[in-house]
């Protein structure tokens, strides 16, 4: 899937891309998104195991607050700032979903349903207030607030859904990852073959990246007794962090060249 809001190319399109607070949706966007979801899952588990659930949530919340303040202060899309915010949303969204289950005792089906309802409400409110959910229209503070609220809800819901398939449905991490890998291709196919609305196809795929990346990361990090490969959550987090840094550095460099070309 390319951009979820395909429009003819030209000077106007270039200007919109430069002014937008979020990235253009390309293949590398989806790669970075899956990497951040996996890293958020394992980093959350590492912090919770090391510090305890409550201190981990407090630290994750502080990191998210700092990241979002930086994101809202910049005037346009800056890859380093944007992807730092996505990483922190991934970490905190995982903690929120896990906290409901582990600390509060909410079953996975209930927490997944709760986050789904929250996401539907955010989308409905956003659509009513702004007239569109297209992410290339995120150029005002109010639209950006809607965008990040939706992103946080997708991460939390995706975490709950991934855990539900692994534990509740007893699929395990690898089988769950394969399930979501197939599912994430369906919106793109529906867009191409059945004329599914591009914005709807984008958000469906975006939601599914969360359980896909989390399931893959858990499969790599979980002990063999829990149907994982046993590499450990900490080492997997470290490797994913390095890969994310390299990808974002490339995005930052290429974005800088594009801005100079459009200047």
Q: Which residues contact 48 (CB under 8 A, 6 or more apart)?
A: 56, 95, 98
- Residue located via tokens 């929120």: 96
**pTM given for the model:** 0.88
Q: Which of 3-12, 13-22, 68-77, 212-221 has the lowest mean pLDDT?
A: 3-12
What integer is the mean pLDDT of 130-141? 92
Measured CA to CA, the distance from residue 239 to residue 223 in angstroms comes to: 17
Measured CA to CA, the distance from residue 57 to residue 99 in angstroms comes to: 8
Among 207, 99, 113, 108, CA closest to 163:
108
Q: Which residues contact 216 (CB under 8 A, 6 or more apart)?
A: 34, 38, 173, 177
pLDDT at 14: 46
Helix axes 79-99, 233-262, angle to 10 degrees: 150
Q: Residue 231: exposed, middle, or buried by beta-carbon count in 10 A (0-12, 13-18, 19+)?
A: middle
Q: Residue 37, Cβ neighbours under 10 Å: how many? A: 31
Higher pLDDT, 49 or 248: 248
DSSP 102: I
pLDDT at 258: 67
What integer is the mean pLDDT of 128-145? 93
pLDDT at 13: 44
Q: How confident is the model at residue 93 (pLDDT cuts 50, 70, 90)?
A: confident
Q: What is the 3-state secondary structure (H, E, C) of 22-38?
A: CCCCCHHHHHHHHHHHH
How many CA within 13 A on the CB side of residue 86? 27
Average pLDDT over the chain reads: 87
What integer is the mean pLDDT of 172-177? 90
Token pair recorded at residue 156? 């939390």
């Amino acid at each position: 899937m390319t951009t979820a809001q395909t429009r003819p190319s030209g000077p106007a399109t270039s200007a919109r891309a430069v002014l937008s607070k979020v990235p253009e949706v390309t293949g590398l966007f989806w790669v970075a998104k899956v990497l951040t979801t996996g890293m958020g899952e394992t980093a959350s588990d590492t912090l919770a195991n090391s510090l305890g659930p409550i201190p981990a949530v407090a630290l994750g919340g502080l990191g998210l607050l700092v990241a979002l303040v930086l994101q809202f202060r910049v005037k346009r899309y800056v890859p380093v700032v944007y992807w730092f915010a996505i990483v922190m949303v991934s970490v905190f969204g995982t903690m929120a979903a896990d906290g409901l289950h582990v600390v509060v005792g909410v079953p996975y089906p209930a927490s997944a349903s709760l986050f789904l309802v929250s996401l539907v409400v955010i989308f409905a409110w956003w659509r009513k207030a702004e007239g569109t959910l297209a992410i290339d229209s995120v150029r005002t503070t109010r639209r950006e607030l809607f965008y990040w609220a939706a992103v946080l809800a997708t991460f939390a819901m995706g975490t709950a859904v991934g855990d539900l398939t692994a534990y509740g449905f007893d699929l395990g991490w690898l089988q769950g990852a394969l399930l979501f890998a197939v599912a994430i291709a369906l919106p793109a196919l529906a867009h191409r073959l059945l004329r599914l609305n591009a914005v709807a196809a984008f958000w469906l795929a975006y939601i599914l990246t969360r359980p896909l990346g989390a399931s893959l990361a858990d499969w790599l990090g979980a002990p063999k007794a829990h149907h994982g490969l046993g590499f450990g959550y900490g080492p997997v987090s470290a490797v994913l962090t390095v890969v994310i840094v390299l990808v974002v550095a490339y995005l930052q460099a290429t974005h800088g060249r594009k801005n100079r070309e459009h200047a």
